[in-house]
Amino acid sequence: MDYQTILLINAIVGIASCLTSLTGFGYALVGTPFLVLFLPPKIAVPLVLFSSLPLSAMLTWEAYRDMSPGRIGGWLAGALGGCAIGVYGLANYPESIMKQVIAGFTLVGAVSLWLKPSKPFQREGLVGSLAGFLSGILGGASGMSGPPIVLLGLKQGWDYRKFRADMIGYFTLLHTSIVILFGNVGILSRETLILGVSALPGLSLGYLLGLVLKPRVSQVHFRILTIALVCFGGVLALLWH
């Protein structure tokens, strides 16, 4: 892999890392659509999740005091079954078709939430497990596990700092599980591991920048930024062939 490609990967990872430090999600929503412009999907998707693990560890250390184990466990219970389905799809079906469908549903959900806010769900635990299941499928297939959980959290109106902490804990556990599955089915290659390590400088700089900016993000700004990220990732995915 040439140096220009390594620099480009670091730039993309740095931006994704900064946004994830701010919101608790968005790493794959930003990283995957750009990386697949010059990397095969079966390299780009595992690269995104593998390279996110050091960031997840740093964010977990910073946010663990605000995490809600019960909420995270409910999401994860649904997600573990879903991620196996998603990984199978990535390994066996045309990625372009799966991504178009995923992107379409993501955009519909984000636009619906923005235009027609409604009352929070009453059966939060059941809906959370379902959101986790969908999140697991999307994560295994494309690395973009965030939208179902993010849209649920915005609908429920959870405090954004606690919600951010819960997302960090959840995505750390889920993405670690998906990376292990990638290794078991032969998708996690030596090239992907090398690229993931080479992206550490960009990831570290993005993380530090995000921590500097985080105190300036209010509840209103958080909602706008998260919906914008979901829409942004969906649009790029629709344009990705």
pLDDT tens, 104-156?
666 765 665 565 556 777 777 788 899 999 999 988 888 888 878 888 887 88
Global pTM value: 0.81
Percent of the chain with pLDDT over 70: 83
Percent of the chain with pLDDT over 90: 29
pLDDT computed for residue 97 by the predictor:
73
With b for 16 or more beta-carbon neighbours within 10 A and e for fewer, the 50-79 pattern comes to bbbebbbebbbeebeeebeeebbebbbebb
- Residue 51 confidence (pLDDT) above 70: yes
C-alpha radius of gyration, the chain, whole number: 16
Q: For residue range 52-61, what is the model confidence (pLDDT) as tens digits?
A: 999 899 889 9
Q: What is the mean pLDDT of residues 30-34?
A: 81
Written as one letter, the residue type at 138 is L
Q: Would you state the structure tokens that stand for residue 84, as one six-digit string?
A: 């196996």
DSSP states along 210-228: HHHHGGG--HHHHHHHHHH
pLDDT computed for residue 105 by the predictor:
61
Q: How confident is the model at residue 28 (pLDDT cuts 50, 70, 90)?
A: confident
DSSP 240: -
Written as one letter, the residue type at 219 is Q
Q: What is the mean pLDDT of residues 79-83?
A: 91
Q: For residue range 158-179, what is the model confidence (pLDDT) as tens digits?
A: 887 888 899 999 999 999 999 9
Q: How confident is the model at residue 103 (pLDDT cuts 50, 70, 90)?
A: low
pLDDT computed for residue 8 by the predictor:
94
CB atoms inside a 10 Å sphere around CB 122: 7
pLDDT computed for residue 79 by the predictor:
94
Which residue would you say has higher pLDDT here, 100 or 13? Answer: 13
CB atoms inside a 10 Å sphere around CB 159: 12
Q: What is the mean pLDDT of residues 15-41?
A: 82
- Residue 50 confidence (pLDDT) above 90: yes
pLDDT computed for residue 116 by the predictor:
54
Q: What is the mean pLDDT of the chain?
A: 83
pLDDT computed for residue 24 by the predictor:
75
Which residue would you say has higher pLDDT here, 62 or 218? Answer: 62
Burial class (CB in 10 A: 0-12, 13-18, 19+), 101: exposed
